[in-house]
Amino acid sequence: MRARFAAVVPALALLGLAGCQCDACAVDGDSADAQAAGFVNETCPIGGEAISVSAGAADYKGNKVGFCCPGCEGGWNEMAEAKKDEFIAKAIASNG
């Protein structure tokens, strides 16, 4: 049992580091499109990829947050408020 667990944990960790791997990911984002659409960010807070204008968005404290694929919105919804605030602050600073 321990050997199986020891093999599974590193595999799951690698998947988490690989970024967004959803099949629906059709990254069509560029910074001009993202800003024109009113997104505060250029990269996905979950997958780290360029956002796709068609992948959906979340409104958070008056900011429109974009994602690289539709599946990332669930990760955003599960993220702690402090992490969301940190992400928004960094996104605004990089746009400045």
Residues of the domain holding 29: 2-95
Distance in angstroms (rounded) separating the CA atoms of residues 73 and 30: 19
Comparing 24-28, 63-67, 71-75, 86-90, the range with the smallest average pLDDT is 24-28
Residue whose C-alpha is closest to residue 40's, from 67, 21, 22, 19: 67
The number of domains in the chain is: 1
What residue has token string 């960010």? 41
Phi/psi at 39 (nearest 5 deg)? Answer: -75, 145
Q: Using DSSP, how many helices (H) and how many strands (E) does the chain show?
A: 4, 2
Residue with the bigger pLDDT between 91 and 10: it is 91
Tens digit of each residue's pLDDT (9 = 90 or more) over 2-59: 555 444 444 333 334 345 555 545 445 455 677 778 999 999 999 999 999 899 999 9
In this prediction, residue 8 carries a pLDDT of 41
